[in-house]
């Protein structure tokens, strides 16, 4: 019995991967994201110049063989800054979503599993958080907490928590009525064991989809906050702040805004495509 | 019959469109001025904010003004007598009407002076005016007393914070006085859509040159690029606060004209001398020596304006042109830093508001100082909080500027460098040098121009050597305007001569 159960479970992920592989655009997106991760990890080796190297004799240079994407107002190489910027974007996107999933997932699981007053209290708290526009909440938090990497992550994560709490709660509500949950309750398994061992693993599919799409949102929020001067502090390059400081030169030096903008766009695009692909692949309704 | 009706309808529509269209296109009785921020308030005693000052400069008048050469000229006071060092008598202009119809009298001056006496924004401007003993002699004569002689006081009377308000209107407005300005100026206040625009209308009864443009609109367009595009496409007529990077393009455009004049402002990176190690002149000198000011001038300010060659702008009289320019020398800077007790460098924070030029300067300083082993963190703060922290002495290094609104070296130097002005008074670097204090006091109390000049020349030399701030740059007043505007001009204090404009 136990063995067969394991097999079907493995089969589900296997099937999903198979379906995802057939989706060409999702695979392309995955490839782009893979490249991005490599860029982020090996930024120091890939980037042609140090990201903070200012060369006052070569400011505002248009793309050339020496500087593939040109230089900015301080004569810094834009390609190197974009490569290093991917590090921040991915880091912020990944860590804020992970934080949001941990807290949102826990809250959702607890409230879905116990129901009643606990559920009511937790969900109403989430409703209140959700009633505040996410960006506005992130801006106020970032402004109150002082700008910086950690606070940026916290600000974005808090704004994202209710979304995950709701997704997980909905999944838990359906799963907890399943017979195998009843069975484990009968053999005296603790609530914690049931939630972590049996319920949460089965909610994974919707969480993964939500997380992929959410990461795109988080990266965008990070860029927006940095654009407003509430995010990463100089000289660390961040795509949003690169855009922000380049915008005053937009009419004379298009390359300063175009490339960081493209970097943001491509990343968000890839994450969204992959998210859509994952949803198609993981949605049980499409299974047959 | 029906088709005739239709035709009439079409004609009517066409006429309306034409009328409306010509109303927009040819309505050359309106000038739209755009600036980078909205006014904070239109209560002259409650701010020294530049965007508010521009609007208030056309609503309010002051007792005295300055002519194009920077000399004191009549304003609401037609003439004045200097009885002795501490007594001045002003003969007021007769028949001047406030915008609410009230006649301007000496009692309004007395009332305005009472507000100035209370205003925290007027501290350095009102200097040593003795408000208790200043008095109304008759309806058109006012006597101003001083507690101590103060050489440049007549210059100060032209400052915006010394505006004359109408007693009745000001008292009646109560809390809402910032939204209901009533002055004697060439334009009357009409309405204010907060954050967007302020509408003014010409004062037909103005005592000076009657304005020929009927409507004046001040719009708030924060984005510099948008302001520039708007003035190029004719959406606005005048744009203020132009980024240096936009100048080349604008100067090549035949539809607009660019007005440029050296401003009385100096911009700097300040040290907070109330905090170690910035109390040590050697540390300040070392940092100053490691800053490539030439590069900052080229990159951040794009060679618009001049590099600072003294602790004040060279348009202020008694400017010292004989100071030795600072040396840029990494090796010497390192040695100096080691001598000051930091052979392994140090870590410091440069704070600034969200002004792009300051942010850029801080980023360049960060790269430059890393060469002498100083690790720089950059912190950006919201402007209000930033100013509070600067005057509270909480920061280490900060980017700011100081405008010598009155064109007198006392205004340029006293508040910024006298030890009695630490913090909110204007000495944001908490700089103290007794000899400088002494010289600034001489300059302030003497009415002999030669004595004052010598005191200021020496004070500048001492300040220059002490490096209380890293003096960077003296910007230009840049105004871009529609080439169709005739009679364009700017007052000595940077305000537009709107009453002379016409198409």
Quick: pLDDT tens for B116-142: 998 888 888 888 888 888 888 898 999
- Sign, Cα dihedral of B36, B37, B38, B39: negative
Which residue among B224, B360, B377 sits closest to A73, beta carbon to beta carbon?
Answer: B360
Model-level pTM? Answer: 0.76
Q: Is B54 helix (H, G, I), strand (E, B) or coil?
A: helix
Q: What is the pLDDT of residue A288?
A: 39
For residue B108, how far is the Cα from the chain centroid? 25
Please answer whether residues B199 and B70 qualify as being in contact, where contact means their C-beta atoms are separated by less than 8 angstroms. no
Contact between A235 and B249 using a beta-carbon 8 Å cutoff: no
Residue A60 is given by DSSP the state: T
Q: What is the pLDDT of residue A10?
A: 62
**pLDDT mean over A167-188:** 86
Which residue among B225, B362, B364 sits closest to A247, beta carbon to beta carbon?
Answer: B225
> Is residue B2 scored above 60 in pLDDT?
no
- By C-alpha distance, which of A179, A207, A174 is closest to A5? A179
Pair of tokens at residue B423: 């913090």
CB pairs under 8 A between A and B: 60
Contact between B354 and A52 using a beta-carbon 8 Å cutoff: no
Residue B161 is given by DSSP the state: G
Pair of tokens at residue A150: 């950690």
Please answer whether residues A219 and A267 qualify as being in contact, where contact means their C-beta atoms are separated by less than 8 angstroms. yes
Q: What is the pLDDT of residue B458?
A: 92
pLDDT digits (tens, 9 = 90+) for B146-165: 888 887 888 888 888 899 99
Please answer whether residues B59 and B244 qualify as being in contact, where contact means their C-beta atoms are separated by less than 8 angstroms. no
Angle of the A134-145 helix axis to the A149-175 helix axis, nearest 10: 140
Q: What is the pLDDT of residue A66?
A: 85
Residue B174, Ramachandran bin (φ over 0: left; ψ between -120 and 50: alpha; else beta): left
pLDDT digits (tens, 9 = 90+) for A94-126: 899 999 999 998 888 888 888 888 888 888 988
Q: Which residue has the higher pLDDT, A213 or B454?
A: B454
> Is residue A146 scored above 80 in pLDDT?
no
Please answer whether residues B127 and B156 qualify as being in contact, where contact means their C-beta atoms are separated by less than 8 angstroms. yes
* Residues 6 or more apart whose Cβ sits within 8 Å of residue A38: A46
Q: How far is A267 from chain B (nearest CA, A)?
A: 27
Please answer whether residues B334 and B372 qualify as being in contact, where contact means their C-beta atoms are separated by less than 8 angstroms. yes
* Residues 6 or more apart whose Cβ sits within 8 Å of residue B321: B309, B310, B314
Q: Is B402 helix (H, G, I), strand (E, B) or coil?
A: strand
| Least confident residue range of A209-213, A230-234, B283-287, B489-493 | A230-234
Q: Which residues of A touch B354 (CB under 8 A)?
A: 229
Q: Which band of pLDDT confidence, cut at 50, 70 and 90, is reported for residue B463?
A: very high
**pLDDT mean over B362-382:** 88
Output the CA–CA distances (angstroms, integers) from residue B349 to A54, A262, B34, B136, B275, in the order listed.
20, 32, 34, 52, 12
> Is the omega angle on the peptide bond into residue B277 within 30 degrees of 0, that is, cis?
yes
Q: What is the pLDDT of residue B41?
A: 87
Query: What number of other Cβ atoms are within 10 A of residue B13's Cβ?
Result: 10
Q: What is the pLDDT of residue B11?
A: 64
Q: How far is B350 from chain A (nearest CA, A)?
A: 11
Q: Which residues of A touch B224 (CB under 8 A)?
A: 248
Q: B280 - beta bridge partners?
A: none
Which residue among B225, B363, B377 sits closest to A248, beta carbon to beta carbon?
Answer: B225
Q: How far is A134 from chain B (nearest CA, A)?
A: 21
Q: Using CA atoms, how far apart are residues B476 and B259, in angstroms rounded to an integer?
A: 10
pLDDT digits (tens, 9 = 90+) for B45-86: 888 778 888 999 999 999 998 888 778 889 899 999 888 888
Pair of tokens at residue B401: 């500027």
- By C-alpha distance, which of B162, B171, B196 is closest to B77? B162
Q: Which residues of A touch B229 (CB under 8 A)?
A: 251
Q: Using CA atoms, how far apart are residues B274 and B271, in angstroms rounded to an integer?
A: 9
> Is residue B278 scored above 60 in pLDDT?
yes
> Is residue B101 scored above 70 in pLDDT?
yes
What are the start-end ranges of the H helices in B266-344?
A: 281-290, 293-299, 330-339
Which residue among B245, B367, B380 sits closest to A229, beta carbon to beta carbon?
Answer: B380
Interface probe with A: pick from B36, B222, B224, B225, most Cβ of A within 10 Å: B225
> Is residue A286 scored above 60 in pLDDT?
no
Give the CATH H-level superfamily of domain B30-38+185-261+477-500. Periplasmic binding protein-like II (3.40.190.10)
- By C-alpha distance, which of B264, B324, B272, B306 is closest to B468? B272
Q: Which band of pLDDT confidence, cut at 50, 70 and 90, is reported for residue B268?
A: very high
Q: Using CA atoms, how far apart are residues B416 and A250, in angstroms rounded to an integer?
A: 37
Q: Which residues of B touch A59 (CB under 8 A)?
A: 299
Contact between B363 and A73 using a beta-carbon 8 Å cutoff: no
- Sign, Cα dihedral of B264, B265, B268, B270: positive
Contact between A234 and B245 using a beta-carbon 8 Å cutoff: no
Domains, chain A, in order of start with CATH, read 23-45+72-286 (1.10.3720.10)
Contact between B356 and A248 using a beta-carbon 8 Å cutoff: yes
Q: Which residues of B touch A252 (CB under 8 A)?
A: 245-246, 248-249
Rounded mean pLDDT of chain A? 83
Q: A52 to chain B: nearest residue by CA? A: B367
Please answer whether residues B137 and B106 qualify as being in contact, where contact means their C-beta atoms are separated by less than 8 angstroms. yes
Q: In terms of CATH architecture, what is B265-474?
A: Roll (3.10)
> Is residue B493 scored above 50 in pLDDT?
yes
- Specify the residue for token string 């440069």: B350
**pLDDT mean over B294-322:** 89
Contact between B299 and A74 using a beta-carbon 8 Å cutoff: yes
Q: What is the pLDDT of residue A185?
A: 85
Contact between B367 and A248 using a beta-carbon 8 Å cutoff: no
Provide residues of B within 8 Å CB-CB of chain A: 223-225, 228-229, 243, 245-246, 248-249, 292, 295, 298-299, 354, 356, 359-360, 362-364, 366-367, 377-380, 382
Q: Using CA atoms, how far apart are residues B238 and B434, in angstroms rounded to an integer?
A: 46
pLDDT digits (tens, 9 = 90+) for B392-425: 888 999 998 888 877 788 888 988 899 888 887 7
pLDDT digits (tens, 9 = 90+) for B3-36: 556 666 666 665 555 555 444 445 578 999 999 8
Contact between A54 and B364 using a beta-carbon 8 Å cutoff: yes
Please answer whether residues A81 and A235 qualify as being in contact, where contact means their C-beta atoms are separated by less than 8 angstroms. no
Q: What is the pLDDT of residue A34?
A: 92
Spelled out in words, what is the top-level CATH class assigned to the domain B61-167? alpha beta
> Is residue A135 scored above 70 in pLDDT?
yes
Q: B242 to chain A: nearest residue by CA? A: A248
Q: Using CA atoms, how far apart are residues A265 and A110, in angstroms rounded to an integer?
A: 37
Please answer whether residues B93 and B207 qualify as being in contact, where contact means their C-beta atoms are separated by less than 8 angstroms. yes
Q: Which residue has the higher pLDDT, A233 or B268?
A: B268
Q: What is the pLDDT of residue B19?
A: 54
Longest CA span, chain A: 76
Which residue among A54, A56, A249 sits closest to B245, beta carbon to beta carbon?
Answer: A249
Contact between B380 and A250 using a beta-carbon 8 Å cutoff: no
Query: What number of other Cβ atoms are within 10 A of residue A150's Cβ?
Result: 11
Please tell me whether the interface predicted TM-score (ipTM) of this complex is above 0.85: no
Which residue among A75, A235, A249 sits closest to B366, beta carbon to beta carbon?
Answer: A235
Residue B492 is given by DSSP the state: T
- Where do the domains of chain B lie? 30-38+185-261+477-500, 61-167, 265-474
């Amino acid at each position: 019995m136990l063995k067969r159960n394991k097999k079907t479970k493995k089969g589900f992920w296997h099937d999903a991967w198979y379906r995802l592989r057939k989706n060409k655009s999702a695979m392309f997106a995955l490839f782009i994201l893979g490249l991005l991760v490599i860029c982020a990890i090996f930024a120091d080796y890939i980037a042609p110049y140090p990201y903070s190297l200012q060369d006052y004799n070569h400011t505002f240079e248009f793309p050339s063989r020496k500087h593939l994407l040109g230089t900015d107002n301080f004569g810094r190489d834009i390609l190197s800054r974009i490569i290093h910027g991917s590090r921040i974007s991915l880091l912020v996107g990944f860590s804020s979503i992970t934080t949001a999933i941990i807290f949102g997932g826990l809250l959702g699981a607890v409230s879905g599993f116990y129901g009643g007053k606990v559920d009511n209290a937790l969900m109403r708290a989430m409703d209140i958080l959700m009633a505040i526009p996410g960006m506005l909440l992130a801006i106020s938090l970032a402004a109150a907490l002082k700008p910086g990497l950690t606070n940026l992550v916290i600000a974005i994560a808090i704004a994202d928590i209710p979304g995950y709490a709701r997704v997980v709660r909905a999944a838990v509500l359906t799963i907890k009525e399943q017979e195998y949950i009843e069975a484990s309750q009968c053999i005296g398994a603790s609530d914690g064991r049931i939630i972590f061992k049996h319920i949460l693993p089965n909610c994974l599919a919707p969480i993964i989809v939500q997380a992929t799409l959410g990461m795109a949102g988080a990266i965008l929020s990070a860029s927006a906050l940095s654009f407003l001067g509430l995010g990463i502090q100089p000289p660390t390059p961040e795509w949003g702040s690169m855009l922000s400081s380049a915008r005053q030169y937009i009419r004379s030096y298009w390359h300063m805004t175009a490339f960081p903008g493209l970097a943001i766009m491509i990343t968000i695009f890839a994450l969204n495509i992959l998210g859509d692909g994952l949803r198609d692949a993981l949605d049980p309704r499409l299974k047959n | 019959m029906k088709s005739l009706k239709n035709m009439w309808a079409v004609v009517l529509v066409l006429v309306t469109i034409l009328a409306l269209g010509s109303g927009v296109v040819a309505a050359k009785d309106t000038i739209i001025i755009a600036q980078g921020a909205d006014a904070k308030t239109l209560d002259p005693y409650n701010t020294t904010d530049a965007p508010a000052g521009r609007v208030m400069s056309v609503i309010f008048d002051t007792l005295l003004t300055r002519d194009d050469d920077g000399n004191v000229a009549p304003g609401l006071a037609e003439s004045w007598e200097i009885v002795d060092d501490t007594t001045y008598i002003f003969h007021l202009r007769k028949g001047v009407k406030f915008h609410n119809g009230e006649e301007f009298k000496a009692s309004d001056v007395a009332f305005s002076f009472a507000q100035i006496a209370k205003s925290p924004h007027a501290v350095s401007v009102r200097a040593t005016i003795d408000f208790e003993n200043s008095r109304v002699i008759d309806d058109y004569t006012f006597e101003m007393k001083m507690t101590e002689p103060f050489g440049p006081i007549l210059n100060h009377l032209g400052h915006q914070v010394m505006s004359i308000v109408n007693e009745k209107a000001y008292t009646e407005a109560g809390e809402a006085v910032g939204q209901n300005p009533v002055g004697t100026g060439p334009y009357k206040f009409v309405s204010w859509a907060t954050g967007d625009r302020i509408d003014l209308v010409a004062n037909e009864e103005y005592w000076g040159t009657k304005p020929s443009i009927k409507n004046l609109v001040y719009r708030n367009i924060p984005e510099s690029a948008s302001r520039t595009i708007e003035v190029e496409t004719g959406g606005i007529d005048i744009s203020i606060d132009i980024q240096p990077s936009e100048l080349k393009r604008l100067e090549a455009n035949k539809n607009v004209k660019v007005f440029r004049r050296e401003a009385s402002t100096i911009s700097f990176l300040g040290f907070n001398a109330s905090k170690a190690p910035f109390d040590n002149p050697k540390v300040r000198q070392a940092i100053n020596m490691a800053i490539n000011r030439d590069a900052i001038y080229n990159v951040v300010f794009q060679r618009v304006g001049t590099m600072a060659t003294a602790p004040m702008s060279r348009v202020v009289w008694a400017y010292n042109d004989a100071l030795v320019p600072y040396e840029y020398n990494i090796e010497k800077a390192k040695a100096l830093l080691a001598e000051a007790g930091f052979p392994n460098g140090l870590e410091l924070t440069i704070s600034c508001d969200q002004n792009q030029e300051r942010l850029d300067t801080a980023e360049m300083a960060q790269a430059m100082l890393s060469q002498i082993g100083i690790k720089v963190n950059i912190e950006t703060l919201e402007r209000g909080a930033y100013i509070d922290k600067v005057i509270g002495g909480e920061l280490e290094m900060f980017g700011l500027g100081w405008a010598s609104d009155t064109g007198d070296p006392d205004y340029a130097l006293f508040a910024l460098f006298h030890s009695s002005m630490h913090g909110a008074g204007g000495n944001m670097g908490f700089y103290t040098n007794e000899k400088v204090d002494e010289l600034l006091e001489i300059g302030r109390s003497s009415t002999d121009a030669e004595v004052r000049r010598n005191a200021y020349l020496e004070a500048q030399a001492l300040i220059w050597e002490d490096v209380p701030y890293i003096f960077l740059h003296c910007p230009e007043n840049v105004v871009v305007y529609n080439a169709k505007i005739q009679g364009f001009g700017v007052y000595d204090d940077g305000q537009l001569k709107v009453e002379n404009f016409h198409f």
